[in-house]
Amino acid sequence: MASDCEPALNQAEGRNPTLERYLGALREAKNDSEQFAALLLVTKAVKAGDIDAKTRRRIFDAVGFTFPNRLLTTKEAPDGCPDHVLRALGVALLACFCSDPELAAHPQVLNKIPILSTFLTARGDPDDAARRSMIDDTYQCLTAVAGTPRGPRHLIAGGTVSALCQAYLGHGYGFDQALALLVGLLAAAETQCWKEGEPDLLAVLRGLSEDFQKAEDASKFELCQLLPLFLPPTTVPSECLRDLQAGLARILGSKLSSWQRNPALKLAARLAHACGSDWIPAGNSGSKFLALLVNLACVEVRLALEETGTEVKEDVVTACYALMELGIQECTRCEQSLLKEPQKVQLVSVMKEAIGAVIHYLQQVGPEKQKEPFVFASVRILGAWLAEETSSLRKEVCQLLPFLVRYAKTLYEEAEEANDLSQQVATLAISPTTPGPTWPGDALRLLLPGWCHLTVEDGPREILIKEGAPSLLCKYFLQQWELTSPGHDTSVLPDSVEISLQTCCHIFLNLVVTAPGLIKRDACFTSLMNTLMASLPALVQQQGRLLLAANVATLGLLMARLLSTSPALQGTPASRGFFAAAILFLSQSHVARAAPGSDQAVLALSPDYEGIWADLQELWFLGMQAFTGCVPLLPWLAPAALRSRWPQELLQLLGSVSPNSVKPEMVAAYQGVLVELARANRLCREAMRLQAGEETASHYHMAALEQCLAEP
């Protein structure tokens, strides 16, 4: 009776009667031989057709992991049975189990990853059907594991990356599956892949690059899409760069449809992001290729952004932005530029038109789109352009400034989302992998260099002030400064933080000179002054941060002149500490140095200042001038300077070197400080006289100082 009902029950439940018989035989097996025979039958039934999740789970419940484990690791096969047949059976069962995502993440599957990885590179008869089936099942297992949340990490730790690379390079059966799985792992965990398998991944890159350079068929377009994934986070081998550039030059120099051209532009953008212009050869061919790249990018940007109502291919346009940025860098490079002057002129012209299209696009952006990655990318390329060129498109830029201030403020106030946007931009532009740190995490950092230029001009400066940019910049400066304060490891800070702080200082310097009333009335500058005073004493003591210290000292001195009536500057501990640190910065710039063949020393830059004096000297002279202006406004400053012994040591330095070694502008700067100190305080005058001040003034033709010291 039961046997009559069982087929009907199986049919009602959708069960496979043949598979049910085999599973019954498996459950009733009394020894390894019977179990092995039943497993062969089960495996054959499974491969004969698709099975559902319930059936797959019933097979697992009947088989478990114990016997497949033995099959995978056994070293003794029955007579007449090749070793790999047993392993193939074990892998087939695992492949069946791995179709269930829960089982694919099971520890008993994960601990088989090293064994499975060895099967990919095992030697054997390439025409053996059983071996081929085992390889297919192995890839099915590994692919299923890769699809689980923590699967890629387990595969990488299990040596799968190197095994896949070797399988692909061997071009044996299933090598295309190896490449597909490698692509998935790199997309999911690029950094870990390169950490564990760099030599093998570089070997794959070399092979792909060579194939790309030689390809004459449609495969070269497919390789364009694959290659960005295989570019390492470190240095790209030079032979790969040569092959990639040659292949791209051949593709982009031909007439192409958009589906053929766009992957090539994205690959070129990825190379530009990774290597700058180092991948482009010098000489005539390289300059023509770079000019072609930038021209194509500009045309693509204009076509995409000037046509209203058309769908923008954001990934392609963002890649073109990266190529335009490369063009901007090369057009502004004075030495060893790849471009000739006529090429630069032509590229600036086409880039200007493309930037006009970017401005047009941004003018259409409403509040609902401000958090979209493509808007961020568009602001980035505009920022790169404004950092070098603000005279052209001035009217359009001024019209856009209110939007840029509001946009920067929105992202500043939502800093975490802004950082996420920057990551999305990097993904959108150049690679489906995790972005690198070169994409800044806020819009303000992108716009600072351009705003620095614009604050010099009356019209743009008035717009920026009206829209609240100075207050926003003060808040941003204080936020960035927090990253450099005690308690933070400044050694791991990106250079962009310090560069941003310096650029902010330059903008504030522009405002101090051109809009002094703003400094006096806006409370944010009082907060900024307090931060500068509190920070400079520690900053001047830190190695390698002299340029930032120069910016902070000079800005603080200039602001002190405007805020001299502030209670914070009336000889408070903070103000005294700030001016002591400023004196340290100004006084340590020059030393007496022995001159070959002469008995008299010469005035020379001190070692710390020498290497960066080209960037430092304007700040130093401005700082000397600002300090001079502070002396009559702050009665306590001259006695403090005297206690620091700066005027005495300055006269001693001038007296120890040849007057011919001191440039006229240095003499003027020194005299300005000494005269104001002497005028402000009788004790200063006496100390200078005791230091042979009158004689030194005569030697250097410092008439004003000589006259001041002659007075009682």
Average pLDDT of the chain, as a whole number = 87
Q: Which of 429-443, 464-478, 604-618 comes out lowest in average pLDDT?
A: 429-443
Give the Cα separation of 282 and 284 in Å (integer). 7
Both tokens assigned to 346: 């032509």
Q: Which of 21-25, 156-160, 422-426, 654-658 comes out lowest in average pLDDT?
A: 422-426
DSSP track, 572-628: -HHHHHHHHHHHHHHHTSEEEEPPTT-SSBEEEE-HHHHTTHHHHHHHHHHHHHHHH
Instruction: pLDDT band for 42, please (50, 70, 90 cuts).
Output: low
Q: Averaged over 11-32, what is the pLDDT?
A: 63
Q: What is the pLDDT of residue 76?
A: 63
Give the Cα separation of 525 and 465 in Å (integer). 13
CA-to-CA separations, 548 to 453, 544, 609, in angstroms, rounded: 19, 9, 12
- Residue 80 pLDDT greater than 70, yes or no: no
- Residue 450 pLDDT greater than 80, yes or no: yes
Q: Using a CB cutoff of 8 Å and minimum separation of 24, what contacts does 352-356 make? A: 352/389, 352/392, 352/393, 353/298, 353/302, 354/297, 354/298, 354/301, 354/302, 354/324, 355/381, 355/382, 355/385, 355/393, 356/393, 356/396
CA-to-CA separations, 487 to 41, 483, 484, 552, 663, in angstroms, rounded: 67, 9, 8, 20, 43
Q: What is the pLDDT of residue 26?
A: 66
Give the Cα separation of 351 and 332 in Å (integer). 13
Q: Which of 22-36, 352-366, 506-520 comes out lowest in average pLDDT?
A: 22-36
- Residue 664 pLDDT greater than 90, yes or no: yes
- Torsion, Cα 286 292 297 299, to 10 degrees, reads 170
- The pLDDT tens digits of the residues spanning 414-446 come to 764 555 555 555 555 444 333 333 334 478 999
Q: Which of 539-548, 551-560, 667-676 comes out lowest in average pLDDT?
A: 539-548
Give the other-Cβ count within 10 Å of 496's Cβ.
15
Q: Averaged over 508-528, what is the pLDDT?
A: 95
- Residue 13 pLDDT greater than 50, yes or no: no
Q: Averaged over 104-121, what is the pLDDT?
A: 90
Q: Are 483 and 441 in contact (CB under 8 A)?
A: no
- Residue 48 pLDDT greater than 60, yes or no: no
Instruction: Output DSSP code: residue 282.
Output: S
- The pLDDT tens digits of the residues spanning 399-418 come to 999 999 999 998 888 764 55
Q: What is the pLDDT of residue 426?
A: 55
Instruction: pLDDT band for 386, please (50, 70, 90 cuts).
Output: very high
Query: Pairing relation of β-strands 602-605 and 590-593?
Result: antiparallel
Collapsing DSSP to helix, strand or coil, 221 comes out as helix
Q: What is the pLDDT of residue 712?
A: 73
Model pTM?
0.84
Q: Which of 95-104, 553-562, 567-576, 629-638 comes out lowest in average pLDDT?
A: 95-104
- The pLDDT tens digits of the residues spanning 201-225 come to 999 999 999 999 999 888 999 999 9
What φ, ψ does residue 601 adopt, rounded to 5°?
A: -75, 165
DSSP track, 379-446: HHHHHHHHTT--STTHHHHHHHHHHHHHHHHHHHHTHHHHHHHHHHHHHHHH-SS---TTS-SSHHHH
Q: Averaged over 41-51, what is the pLDDT?
A: 60
Q: Which of 25-34, 515-524, 646-655 comes out lowest in average pLDDT?
A: 25-34
Q: What is the pLDDT of residue 247?
A: 95
Residues 6 or more apart in contact with residue 113 via CB below 8 angstroms: 142, 145, 154, 155, 157, 158, 159, 160
- Residue 193 pLDDT greater than 50, yes or no: yes
Give the Cα separation of 658 and 365 in Å (integer). 64
Q: Are 142 and 177 in contact (CB under 8 A)?
A: no
CA atoms within 13 A on the CB side of 171: 3
Q: What is the pLDDT of residue 16?
A: 66
Residues 6 or more apart in contact with residue 503 via CB below 8 angstroms: 448, 449, 452
Residues 6 or more apart in contact with residue 305 via CB below 8 angstroms: 312, 317, 357, 358, 360, 361
Closest CA to 287 of 336, 354, 320: 336
Residues 6 or more apart in contact with residue 33 via CB below 8 angstroms: 78
